[in-house]
Amino acid sequence: MKTLFKIVGAIVLCLVLLLVVFRITGLDPNGGRPGLWLTGNVVTAPVTDWSFTETIPYIKIQTQSWYGLPHSVTINCMIANGQLYLVSPVPAGQHRSWDDNVMRDPHVRLKIGNNLYDRTLTVVTDPSERQSVLQARHKKYPELRIPPTATVNIFHVISNGV
């Protein structure tokens, strides 16, 4: 029994040390691999013009998972009506962890370039606003197609998340 406690203790200690290292280094998502904490320069000033993101193909988003660790992925973004939006088409029968996390807790951290922006997302339900965002997405990313059976989640980046 003492041996079991030593083994379990050693595993827990290794996991804690690994999380401390990841907390310090960040572990940004890379390609299709999700990550944990995003690292960079935190921008606290309000952003009224997101047009600089039009030339940036991909950004990163950090959400809070249900089990307490951050979950970060690489996503695309677009401007519609002068506002910043995130679109997530979810194929039928699948789910995206970051979407689920945002639905539970809308406070996120966005990484654009090397800057971090703490923001709050809202789900877009207005049909005309959704159509405008989808048109902006098609203009910026003409190669990205949405499967006809996909559920399309559209999020509006609205304010500093606290």
Residues whose CB falls within 8 Å of the CB of residue 112, separated by 6 or more in sequence, listed in order:
52, 53, 56, 59, 77
Look-up: residue for tokens 């998502």?
29
Give the residue ranges of the chain where pLDDT is below 50. 161-162
Q: How do 151-160 and 41-42 pair as beta strands?
A: unpaired
3-state secondary structure (DSSP) of residue 139: helix
- The pLDDT of residue 102 is 96
- The pLDDT of residue 1 is 76
pLDDT digits (tens, 9 = 90+) for 83-98: 999 999 998 888 889 9
Domains of the chain by start residue, with CATH: 2-160 (2.30.110.10)
